[in-house]
Amino acid sequence: MDLQQIKYFLALAQELHFWNTAERMFITQSALSRQIKALEDEIGIQLFERSKRSVKLTAAGAFLREQWTPLLDEINRMHLQARKIHEGAYGIVRIGYPGSIAYGFMPELITRISHSLPELKVDLVEPTDISFEQLLLSYQMDIAFRRDPAENPALQSICLYSEPFALAVPSNHHLNEHNFGGLQDLKDEKFILSSLTHTTFYVSSLRQIFEDHHFSPNVYIETDYGGMTLGLVSKGLGVTILPYSYSFSALPNVRFITLPYTVNLYVTWRKDDKSPVLRNILQQVQDTALKFMPDSSGQARS
């Protein structure tokens, strides 16, 4: 007995007509008769009462029809679910990201994923004290966005786009895009920054900006959270330098002044990960990145 024989039986139990059932199942009437007879012989039960004019279910056949119908529906459901898993349309993906892309790139990406892969569960992680690489290699994360490419040979990275750094000041600050002359204009300002002793690529980029201008900032408040930093700037407590992505936060009372320095955004994943979910997500990531590539003015197209 196989699944196809059960399908033939249930179709005939519904139609109660060999010719109609054969046409519906795309086989010949004689082939259908042989399949039903083989099923009856195997289980030792007469399923149908046949005459020249009619086909009727036996009591045992009616019982099996009631039992097999929900089972077949469940098997079909499982097959459909398995197909979705095979195609990468069902499951879970764990994504790590820096706070700087929480206002522009990530909402756009998650929107695309929810539309194209509605049954895929997304788990978002913004790690602070554990490295992206460690989380990827320990399978606590499937994909990570970073400001630098992965160094571990077990990981693979591609650069999605570059964006400028920007000086963020309170909206009533005297500096703007037109009168800003350089970091020397900020010698009397209080800065809100990540600790410049950190060894992350992002902080190294900040140190490079200050070193290029022989400038030592007066760091008044230290925080690693960009959202908190912007909130403090909006309250007039100081100025900061952040990736331009933070301008998408639409936080009131903050003005952004672009600087002639850029920072990249990379996507990183495990090289040996053949997951169809990962394949689909990487396609969505690259499609989303096209919207954030800078135009001729250096600003994101979005």
Summarised one tens digit per residue, pLDDT across range 224-244 is: 888 899 999 999 999 999 999
Same domain membership, residue 175 and residue 97: yes
CA 143 to chain centre: 8
- Give the per-residue pLDDT at 51: 86
Pair 104, 238 in one domain: yes
**CATH at 61:** 1.10.10.10
Predicted local confidence at residue 230, as pLDDT: 94
Q: What pLDDT is attached to residue 26? A: 94
What total of structural domains would you count in the chain? 2
- Note whether residue 297 is domain-resident: no
Quote the CA–CA distance of 286 and 302 in Å, as a whole number: 15
Q: What is the pLDDT of residue 269?
A: 96
Using alpha carbons, select from 230, 200, 205, 214 the residue that is nearest to residue 131: 200
Q: Are residues 186 and 121 in the same domain?
A: yes
62 and 139 part of one domain: no
pLDDT band at 128 (very low <50, low <70, confident <90, very high): low
Q: Same domain for 111 and 260?
A: yes
169 and 253 in a common domain? yes
Q: Tell me the DSSP string of 166-188.
A: EEEEETT-S--TTT---GGGGTT
Backbone angles phi, psi at 267, to 5 degrees: -110, 135
What integer pLDDT is reported at residue 11 of this predicted model?
94
Give the pLDDT mean for 21-30: 93
Q: What whole-number distance in Å separates Cα of residue 95 and Cα of residue 264?
A: 18
User: 250 or 179: whose pLDDT is higher?
Assistant: 179
301 within domain boundaries: no
pLDDT at 224: 86
165 located within any domain: yes
Q: Any bridge partners for residue 269, and if so which?
A: 143, 156
78 and 106 share a domain? no
Whether 127 shows a pLDDT value over 80: the answer reads: no
Q: Answer yes or no: is 235 within a domain.
A: yes
Tell me: do 172 and 284 sit in the same domain: yes
Residue-number span of the structural domain to which 204 is assigned:
91-292
Same-domain status, 151 and 74 = no
Tell me, yes or no, whether 113 and 234 share the same domain: yes
pLDDT of residue 179: 94
- Over the stretch 175-223, which tens digit does the pLDDT of each residue have? 999 999 989 999 999 999 988 988 888 889 999 999 999 999 999 999 9
Confidence at residue 132, expressed as pLDDT on a 0 to 100 scale: 86
Residue 298 domain-assigned?
no
Using CA atoms, how far residue 248 sits from 36, 58, 95, 139, 230, in Å, is 66, 70, 20, 31, 12
Does some domain include residue 300? no
The closest of 132, 105, 118, 88 to 281, measured between CA atoms, is: 88
Please state the pTM of the whole predicted model. 0.75
Structure confidence at residue 60 (pLDDT)? 94
CATH number of 274's domain: 3.40.190.290
Q: Quick one: pLDDT band at residue 129, thresholds 50, 70, 90? A: low
For residue 296, pLDDT over 80 is answered with no
232 and 179, same structural domain? yes
**Are 33 and 81 part of one and the same domain?**
yes
Give domain status of residue 299, yes or no: no
